[in-house]
Amino acid sequence: MKSSTQALKNWLKQRHAINSHRQVLLISVEESVHSELIEVLKNHFDTQLWLGFETDLKADEKINKCTTQNFRQFLGNETDLLAYNAFIGLKPSALYALEGCIKTSGLLVIFTPFIERWPKHEAHNRGLNFSHHDTHDESLFIKYFCDTLLSDKNTAFISDTDFNLPLVLDDSTATANKGSIASVQNSYLTNEQHLHLNTLTHRYAEQGNIKSIIIGKRGRGKSALLGELYKWGLNTFESVFICAANRKNCDSIFKVIFEAYPNLSSNNVLFVSPDNLHSVDQSALVLIDEAAALAPSIIISAFKRLNNIVIATTEIGYEGSGLGFNKKLKPILQRDKTVKSIELLTPIRWPADDPLEPLFEKVFASHYSKGKTKSFETFSNNHSSVSNLRFEFIDSSNKTEQQIGKLIECHQLLMSAHYQTTPDDLMRLLDSDDQAVIIAHVNNIICGACIVVKEHLTVDEELAQQIISSQRRLSGNLSLQTIASMLFDQNCLTLNCWRVTRIAVLENVQNKSIGSQLLSCTERLALNNNVDLLSTSFGVEAALLRFWQNANFKLIKIGTRRDTSSGHYSGLFIKPINQDIESTTLLLVLRFELTKIYLGELGVLMPTLLRNEYNKQKHYLSTQARQAFEKLVADKTEAIIANELKITNTLEELFFVAHQLQSNSLLILLRKLMIKGNSAELKLTLNQQIIDILESLNMAS
């Protein structure tokens, strides 16, 4: 081990001497010898970020550390060393996001179990949550991850018995970046940044306001450009505000500002949180960093109300929901013809020929290669119809090496088509034992994919009762647990349900019924596999609603808050496959119809498309279903009185009771309970008063 330690010291010195490119170093040794290597790394780098090392080292002025769950607080920062403790499990989205924080000549170090044991170690020390009953004992993702990294000539490696420490000479920086720096007072700006800065400031001079969208990958200098706009704004506006999901994410902006104004500190810079943007004066200049991490409604409202606003964001889903911004929010903002969109292409944080960025794009399958894209273009031009469409079913139990390649390609398709797909989804796609994929392809080209999660719970009586009483919620099994708690019936937990989580179709061959055919194929497979029902959940918007309505899916629940990513209310839809659960379906449809009073109180039923959905479902109602619903309400009321169910978990039914029995006193208390910000003491009092009324209503009936 001493030889490996000395080799690491020598290698780090050599990297520093030659101004090396960014690299990955895998340290695959026993945990007991980590401390010696950690000390070597600590003493070599000026700025450091350590993930998952809470007990292994103390933070100081040059060392930051955090858990893998809190990685977003460091987005937008820069670091020389990023170290990741894979012994506690790998979280792909955290690793991919923070890789973009590593500066030129920086190093990514991953402390791993022995490479040959890592897949089994990961399966039992998971960095991601899988479904409650998931039992996979080996991680296919870790195998793929290791194979991809170790096949790259630039990846460094240290083990107990061996080491391979290549040097990657950065001979391009001196020449490639020399001509890119603008010969102006802002000498660190590239020509591209300075050009865009001039464009925006001249635009303000011409039209009297400034509204702009800045888009680019990580490390392209978006935050630095915002910092320059802040400096310009100080001499142009009475007030300039910076906004981001987290103040710590703005360190790169502050760095630009403080270099120009050394007397300023972060306390002197006006920062406004996203939920307080409505309080900013209309004439102020507002600069928002990583806008994709904010709710779309906040961005849209700010663009409508403010005269001067510039937002910057990445366009890939590793920081917030970049694809969602690109596909959904950006077109809305650009309807205003005064909005100027600009794109930063040139890397600033590392050279243009940096090997780490393309390596990680390959590892996490974030987009198609250029060769693949060309083959898709040829395919779409030569196939006006999809008559040769074939389907393939890849179940969790039969993933061959060839199929793993197809799953990775499916993930690339999902990344290009669906704004909420993240690197974590690739790991779940490869490892989860409850996910299956239906692939549509023509002539071996994948043109569509449908991802389903197989739901089925086998739990003891006590846990089942806790689930239907909303006292426990196990990971996964979203549909069954929701339905069981809605109907207060633990038998629903044992149904076999396939939940469709994604349907994606290659962009060039969309609107050719491929999505509908994928769903039809999924239904046939479900029938052959003794599935009771299909389900899906998504942000309800007109186009998606029409698609699922045309497939005869029934809306049974609508969320009471708008989804942060989509800006829409989330709906849960089901379609029975087994005729034996028709009565359950009818009861769920009726329950949804009769809880519109509660939803109306919250203003959720305002969208026309939801009102139309109610009207469409009325013909499914029957006397038998109504009687079943009345029994459900009675059972839940008794459970509340017996202190077996929280009132907040059955507000829908209680609003129905209050209106049916014309109990104004109950209605008033329920409305009070819905008001946010009530103290715990007040809620306890309201609960008891509601129980008293329910008892009296029960006695009266």
CA 412 to chain centre: 16
pLDDT value at 565 more than 70: no
| pLDDT of 266 | 65
For the stretch 395-418, pLDDT in tens is 977 777 778 999 999 998 888 776
pLDDT at 172 over 60: no
Give which of 479, 401, 483, 410 is closest to 448, Cα–Cα: 410
- Name the strands in the sheet holding 339-344, side by side, starting at the edge strand that comes first in the sequence: 271-272, 240-243, 285-289, 308-313, 210-216, 339-344
Q: Report how far residue 335's alpha carbon sits from residue 199's, in angstroms, rounded to the nearest whole number.
A: 20
End-to-end CA, the chain:
80
pLDDT tens for each residue of 616-627 = 555 555 677 778
- Cα→Cα distances 280→270, 297, 307, 312, Å: 11, 16, 11, 19
Residue 421 pLDDT class (50, 70, 90 cuts): confident
pLDDT per residue as tens digits for the range 640-699: 998 889 888 888 889 888 888 888 899 889 888 887 656 788 888 888 999 999 988 776
**What number is the average pLDDT over the span 121-144?**
91
pTM of the full predicted structure? 0.86
Q: Is the pLDDT of residue 17 over 80?
A: yes
Please give the mean pLDDT across all residues of the chain.
85
What are the two backbone dihedrals, phi and then psi, of residue 679, each rounded to the nearest 5 degrees? -75, 160
Give the residue among 519, 462, 526, 464 at the shortest CA–CA distance from 498: 526
% the chain with pLDDT above 90: 44
